[in-house]
Amino acid sequence: MTYSGDENDTIPQNKNKSVIVLGSGAYRIGSSVEFDWCSVNAIMALRKQGIESIMINYNPETVSTDYDICDKLYFDELTFERVMDIIEYESPYGVIVSMGGQIPNNLAMRLKGQKINILGTSPESIDNAETGTNFLLCSINWKLSNPNG
């Protein structure tokens, strides 16, 4: 997608057959390298299955070392609006959010609300793990010990 241009740089080739993987975004302690490793491995697994892979990520480290690991790379921010723009343009079969860490995890429920096919961990499971109240209720239902307070 080319913003403020007259035409796009690429044309989607495999509508409803490709898979988008959301990377981790900008480098910060505890939220990048290990998640980029997961995202890249998800891309490699898709490639082994012959599925076109599309990565959305704006982490310069990943882009500089693994720029050619996916079939198509969008070096763009991981906001709901940008991700939806790319999803609408590419029309993928589905999106993997659970490999990229906190930023993509925060988008899971909103993407589900737009009827996006989320592959892998369900948005509800991500929400249960990420939302303190939901996690507490799950742990009580499973009779797990919880910290006081």
Integer-rounded Cα radius of gyration of the chain = 17
Tell me: the pLDDT tens digits for 46-91? Answer: 999 999 999 998 876 665 556 678 899 888 889 999 999 999 999 9
Tell me: the pLDDT tens digits for 99-114? Answer: 878 889 899 999 999 9
Question: Which residues on adjacent β-strands are paired with residue 137?
Answer: none
- What is the C-alpha separation between 86 and 56, in angstroms, rounded? 9
Q: What is the pTM of this model?
A: 0.82
pLDDT at 140 over 80: yes
Tokens of 101: 């860490």
pLDDT at 14 over 90: no
Q: Which residues fall within 8 angstroms of residue 59, CB to CB, at 6 or more apart?
A: 23, 24, 25, 26, 27, 32, 36
- Reported for 41-47, long-range contacts at CB under 8 A and 24+ positions apart, including other chains, are 41/99, 42/96, 42/99, 43/69, 43/70, 44/69, 46/19, 46/21, 47/71
